[in-house]
Amino acid sequence: MFFPNLRILSLPIFVFGLVSVSIFSGISASFAVTTFNFGATGDWGCSSNTGQTVSNIKGKGPERILAIGDYSYSSTATCWLNKITDLKSKTKIAIGNHEDDNDEGFSQYMSAFGLSKTYYSFTFSSAHIIVMDTDRVSYSSGSAQYNFVKSDLQSASQNPNIKWIIVYMHKQMYTSPNTCSSSSCSNTGSEASNLRKTYHAMFDSNDVDVVLQGHVHNYQRTNPISYSGSSTPKTTTTCSTNCNDPKGEFFAVVGTGGINFHALSGKASFVKYQQDDKFGALNIIIDNNANKLTGKYYANGGTKLDEFSITKPIQVSGYNFGPSLTLSGN
C-alpha cells in the first residue's frame, strides 16, 4: 500500500555519557552504558600481606578503591601510603579507629587525600557512594554528619541518573560472633546498636544497595536485610546470592586488608558466607548497561571465595505518547 504524503517523525539519537534515545514523537529513554568496578577492603597494616592485597586490587583494574579504615596502625600514615602508591589517586578513605586521633597521623591522612571533612560522598557514573565516619566525629541523630547523610541519601535516591547507592564506614552494624576482644566488635555492643538504630531504617527508605564495613578482621556477607529494631535484622527475601532488585541491602564486613585475623566463633543467621583465614578484597562490578551490580570476594592469590549480585529492571524515562506518524491524502 502506498501513502503519497506519509511523514515519519525523526529518530534522533544522542550520545553523551548516557545514551538518550528519542523515538518517534518524543518517547525517550536513558540508559547508562558504562561498565566499571571498585575495589574495597579495610584493616590493612603495612606487612607483606598488605602488599599482596594491593596487588590483588590493582589486578582488577578498579576505577576507585573504597578504603574502609584502619591503615598503617602507627603514629603516621607513611608506611601505608608507600604501600598504596600505585592506587592512591583512585583511593577514597573512611577514617577508622586507628587514625582518628591526632597522634595516629589523622592530619596526614586528611591532607594526603585532600579531605576537609571525614564524611563525604562522590558519584562515579551511575553509582553514588557515601563515606561515613564512625570514629572521629559524632554520627548521632541530629549531628552534622547525620544531617549530611540523610540529605545526601534523599538526593541520590531521587536522582534518575543514580542507579546504585553504596555506603561504607569503618565500624560494623552487623557481625557474626568473633574473637575480637573489643565490645565494638560485638553484634550486641553499644556502637553496633547505635549505628543500626540511627541509620539502617534510613538506608532502607532511600534504596541503598550495599553497605561495606571493616573493624572486624575477617570477611562476612549477609543476605539482603532490612532494619528490624534488634540485633537480628529482617531477611527480606529467600534470594541470598543472585537477586532481582531485593528489598534491603547486602552488608559485607571486609576487614581483610592484611593486619591480622579475628577468628569467627559462630555464624549469624543473616550471614550467607564468611571466612577468617584469607586476606583479600571485594571487587564490585557494575555492568549490563548499569543494570547489574556484582560483588566478588577474591583472596590474595586469586581464588574467588564469594559472589553475590543485584539485577535491576531497565528504567525508561521521559515518556511522551503522541502520534508516531502523520498521514495525509487518500
Average pLDDT over residues 296-310: 98
* CA distance linking residue 43 with residue 97, whole number of Å: 10
C-alpha cell of residue 1: 500500500
Phi and psi based region of residue 184 (left: phi greater than 0; alpha: psi -120 to 50; beta: remaining): alpha
- The predicted-structure confidence for 250-268, as pLDDT tens digits, reads as follows 999 999 999 999 999 999 9
- The pLDDT confidence band at residue 119, using thresholds 50, 70 and 90, is very high
pLDDT band for 317, please (50, 70, 90 cuts): low
Split at pLDDT 50, 70, 90, the class of 328 is: low
| Whether pLDDT at 325 is above 60 | no
C-alpha cell at 228: 528490624
User: Given pLDDT bands bounded at 50, 70 and 90, which one contains residue 287?
Assistant: very high
Residues 124-151 pLDDT 10s = 999 999 999 999 999 999 999 999 999 9
User: How does pLDDT run across 66-82, given as a tens digit for each residue?
Assistant: 999 999 999 999 999 99
pLDDT of residue 315: 66
In the numeric block, the cell 549469624 is attached to: 268
- β-pairing, 64-67 vs 91-93, is parallel
Residue 40 in contact with residue 212, Cβ under 8 Å?
Answer: yes
pLDDT band at 21 (very low <50, low <70, confident <90, very high): very low
Beta bridge partners of 8: 325
Mean pLDDT, the chain, integer? 89
> pLDDT band at residue 7, thresholds of 50, 70 and 90?
very low
Q: Nearest CA to 53 among 232, 289, 214?
A: 214
**Phi and psi (nearest 5°) for 205?**
-80, -10
24-56 confidence digits (pLDDT tens): 334 334 444 479 999 999 999 999 999 999 999
| Domains of the chain, start order | 35-313 (3.60.21.10)
The predicted pLDDT at position 111 comes to 98
What pLDDT, on the 0 to 100 scale, is given for residue 314?
A: 81
pLDDT-above-70 percentage for the chain: 85
Mean pLDDT computed over 12-27: 38
pLDDT at 131: 99
pLDDT the model gives residue 34: 73
pLDDT tens string 157-201: 999 999 999 999 999 999 999 999 999 999 999 999 999 999 999
Host H or E run for residue 203: helix 201-205
Containing 124, the helix (H) or strand (E) segment is: strand 120-124
Please give the torsion angle defined by the CA atoms of residues 195, 197, 203 and 205, in that order, rounded to the nearest 10 degrees.
-170
Q: Are 13 and 19 in contact (CB under 8 A)?
A: yes
Average pLDDT, stretch 100-122? 98
Residues in the chain: 330
Enter the C-alpha cell of residue 226: 532490612
Distance CA 93, CA 66 (A): 6
Residue 220 has pLDDT above 50, yes or no: yes
| 250, β-bridge pairs | 210
pLDDT score at 11: 40
pLDDT tens, 229-243? 999 999 999 999 999
